[in-house]
A and B are shown apart, each in its own frame.
Chain A
Amino acid sequence: MKTKILLPFIIVSFLFIFFILYVGLNRSNIYIPETVTNEKIPTFKVKVFNSEKKLTSIEIFENDIYYLLNIWASWCIPCRDEHPYLMELKKNKKLEIVGLNYKDKVKNANNFLNELNNPYTLILSDTDGTIAIEWGAYGVPETFLIYNGKIIKKIIGPMNNNLFKEIESVVK
Chain B
Amino acid sequence: MKILNFLVIIIFLFNLNVSNANDRNLNSKITKNLRCLICQGQSIHDSDTEFANSLKLVVEKKITEGMSENEIYEFLKTKYGEWILYDPALNQKTYILWLLPLLLFLIGGAIIFKNLKIKKN
Contacts and interface: CB of A to CB of B under 8 A. Distances in A.
Interface string B68-79: 000000000011
Nearest to B96: A20
A130 B58 CA distance: 6
A92 B11 CA distance: 62
Contacts of B83: 31
Interface string A105-147: 0000000000000000000000011101111101100000000
Given A29-B40, A31-B80, A130 B57 contact: yes
B20 interface: no
B40 A129 contact: no
B109 to A, nearest CB: 15
B51 A128 contact: no
Contacts of B24: none
B50 interface: yes
B88 interface: no
A150 interface: no
B38 interface: yes
Q: Is the interface of A mostly helix, strand, loop or mixed?
A: loop
Interface string B85-113: 00000000000100000000000000000
B10 interface: no
Contacts of A130: 54, 57-58, 61
A30 B40 contact: yes
B63 interface: no
The 3 closest A-B pairs by CB, nearest first: A129-B54, A136-B79, A31-B37
Contacts of B53: 129
B66 to A, nearest CB: 17
A118 B38 CA distance: 29
Contact of A133 (B40, B58, B81): B58
B26 interface: no
A132 B49 CA distance: 14
